[in-house]
Structures are given as structure tokens and as C-alpha cells.
Amino acid sequence: MDEAAKQRVKERFRKRFYPDYGLFLIVLFLLTFGLIMLLSVSSYESKITFGDSNTYFYKQLKATAIGLVMMLITTFIPYGVYKRFTGIAYVFSGLILLSVKTSFAYSANGATRWVRVAGISIQPAEISKTLMIIALAGFISELGKRVSTLRGFVLTLVMSLIPAAAVYGLTKNLSSAFIIVSISLIMLFVSCPNYARFVVLGLIGAGLAFLAVFRAVNAPSPSDLGFRSNRILAWLHPENYAAGKGMQTVQALYAIGSGGLFGKGLGESMQKLGYLPEAQNDMIFSIVCEELGLFGAAAIIVLFIMLIYRLRSIADAAPDMFSALLVVGVMGHIAVQVILNIAVVTNTIPNTGITLPFFSNGGSAVIMQLIEIGIASGVAFRTPVSEVH
């Protein structure tokens, strides 16, 4: 074989396509870690509520299994298929929220954000987030360089604000609405080189946050404030609201502080025994700190950093703008939820009820998160292995 033929064989080998095993391995570590912690955290509450200490765990395990199957399926779906349905994805991201106004909807903890179909509980807002990633990726890639113009920038921003407003208006879920807007801003940021606009948006956001805090602090009486303004007061002075809105925060901080460097040991948490409300949901990270200490918390954060870095590498090597934005959307979704959840648990920001991906109890969330990982993996699968680094 001459040298030219050898080179052609070598190039064909280097351009072969493979699943991203590194991505799968990180996600499997997170899922396993999450299921172990959920079993530990939820056993007491599950026993009290259902009479079986494993009910929450079995439900999450079932959802995880479904999610893994969906992840594998979406890995082998060509990402170009999604581009054909970006308009439908956008419309459906709003229409699916209307299901909370049907007879299939039910309430929990004072909020109507779920529907039950054929015995399966679904949170429409979680589906809407994934659909918005697909819709925005298609819209921005169609705009191309025009997204840098003021008209293109504002149009994309408005496009994300409409479903975000629908999420809040129909489900009163401010955290999900904020996440949708955050995802769109991240996708805009990587596709628009005019960073001055993001500085302006940041200043506007900071100004609105300051006004909200100022209004809450200077109100004549807490009774004059709404639900969310009272949450701001509970964030600023949780000890003054320890019997009410500040209870979850105070107990979470107790859990974090008592864990020390290596924790009390797996299963040895005291706060999960009825002291910390909804410990298996958005406050699960505090129990990780209590049982596994700073070491366990750091391990989780490192795993998420590895996942985000892996997704960034896939986006960098993606064959085109649409596929790159799909991965950026997935990366942004996970990054925003992780950062905000840890910030809430440590009382860095007011309590907003944001869950920790792959850890917090919630079947719809873990299924949709794994579908998003499958979409990102599908992009990696169709990127020449020599391009991914």
C-alpha cells in the first residue's frame, strides 16, 4: 500500500463516529450518586407518607430507567430531525402548559403544576424547557448573523419571554420561567458578539432585584407584602422567620453546618427526620453536606463541572450552528439549575424551589434532563471523533 492510500485509510479511521462514552459515564455517576442520596434522604418521609420507606426511591428509579432508554433513543436520532420541527416545538412549549387547566391537573404544596395521565405524573414546565431549547436553536441558527442586529436580538429575547410568561401565568412557577429566560440568554450570548447588550440586561436585572429588596425591607409591615416579597425578608433574616417561610432555609443551614469535612455518614442525617421540609426535593444538597460533608458536596460539584465542560467541548466541535446551540442550551439548562439550587440551599439567594438535576425527587425532571443529554450525545455521535477534544 502506497503512502497516499495509507493516509486515506488513516483519515477514514479518524473521521469515524462514536457515542460520547465520557459523557455517558459522567451522567451515570451523577444518576447513581443521586439515587443513593435520594434513598437515604427520602426514606423517613416516604415511610410517614406512604407506609413504605422506598416509595420515593422506586418512583425515581422507574423514571430514571425510562429516561435512560429515552437518552439512548435520542442519541441515535439525527439532530437535523429537530430542526424540521422547531416551529412546532415552540408552539407546543406553550400549549402543553394549558394542561394544568384541565381535569388531568392536580395540586401539591399549594401549587397546580402537574398533570396525571394514565397514572403517570408529569410537570409540563419541564417539557417546555426542553422544547424551548430546540425552538431557540432553530430560530437563532435561521437568523444567523442577523441575530447580532438589534432587531434580531430583541426578537429572540421576546420569543423566550412569551413562553416564560406563560409558565408563570399558568403555573405560578417563577423559577421555571426564570430558567427559560436564562437558557435563552446563554444561547444568545454564544451567538451574539455584542456583549454590551448583555451588560445592559445585567444592569437592568440587578436594578430590578435591588428595587424588590428595597421594597421588601422598607414595607411598613410584612402583611403589606406579597408572597415573594416575604420570601426576600426570610432570605435576609431567616432566623426571624424560622417558624414559617425561613424554616426550610434555617434547617438547611443547620444540616450544612453540622456535616463538617466528612459528614455524619450516609443515612445518619438528623434534619431529614421531619425537621427539613421537602428534603428530598430542592433541599437534597443540604443533606448531602450533612451526611457526606464538604468532601461529598465537593465531589458533586466536580462531577457537574466535568459534565458542563464535556458539553462545552461537544458544542465547540459541533458540525454547525444549530447543533452547537442545541448543546449550549442543554449545558445552560443544567448549569443554571445547579448554580441556583446550591445558591438557594446556602441562602445566597432567596428560596425559589429550584431542584438539583439528577438528584432531587421528580420523575418528569430526570426524564427530560436525560432526553436533553441524549440530544447532546446525538450531536457528539455525528461529530467526527477527531474534532471532539
Which residue spans within 161-281 are E strands per DSSP? none
356-382 mean pLDDT: 93
d(CA 285, CA 342) in angstroms, rounded, equals 7
Contacts of 91 (CB under 8 A, 6+ apart): none
How many helices (H) and strands (E) are present in the chain, helices listed first?
14, 3
Question: The pTM is what?
Answer: 0.90
DSSP classification of residue 348: S
Q: What is the mean pLDDT of residues 236-257?
A: 84
| Mean pLDDT value of segment 333-356 | 91
Q: Which of 5-19, 55-69, 164-178 is predicted with the least confidence, judged by mean pLDDT? A: 5-19
Higher pLDDT, 114 or 303: 303
Degrees to nearest 5, angle at CA 242 with 236 and 246: 50
- Quote the pLDDT of residue 168: 87
A 10 A CB-CB count for 254 gives 16
Rounded to whole angstroms, how far apart are CA atoms 93 and 97? 7
Residue found by looking up cell 426578537 in the block? 155
Half-sphere exposure of 153 (CA within 13 A, CB side): 17
Q: Give the number of other CB atoms < 10 A from CB of residue 190.
A: 17
- Cα–Cα dist 268/272, whole Å: 9
Give the pLDDT confidence score for residue 144 in this predicted structure. Answer: 86
Residues 353-366, mean pLDDT to the nearest whole number: 91
C-alpha cell of residue 343: 445558591
Higher pLDDT, 133 or 10: 133
Any idea where the domains of the chain sit in the sequence?
20-76+226-383, 83-194
pLDDT digits (tens, 9 = 90+) for 105-146: 777 666 677 787 766 678 888 999 999 999 999 999 998 888
The string of pLDDT tens digits covering residues 196-225 is 889 999 999 899 888 888 887 777 665 556
Question: Contact, 334 vs 54, CB < 8 A?
Answer: no
Least confident span in 116-125, 186-195, 299-308: 116-125
Per-chain mean pLDDT for the chain: 87
CA atoms within 13 A on the CB side of 358: 23
Rounded average pLDDT over 231-240: 81
Higher pLDDT, 370 or 96: 370
* Alpha-carbon gap, residue 160 to 370, rounded angstroms: 22
Print burial letters for 285-302: b (CB count within 10 Å at least 16), e (below 16): bbbbbbbbbeebbeebee
Lowest pLDDT segment from 185-199, 218-232, 277-291: 218-232
- How many angstroms separate the CA atoms of 375 and 82, rounded? 9
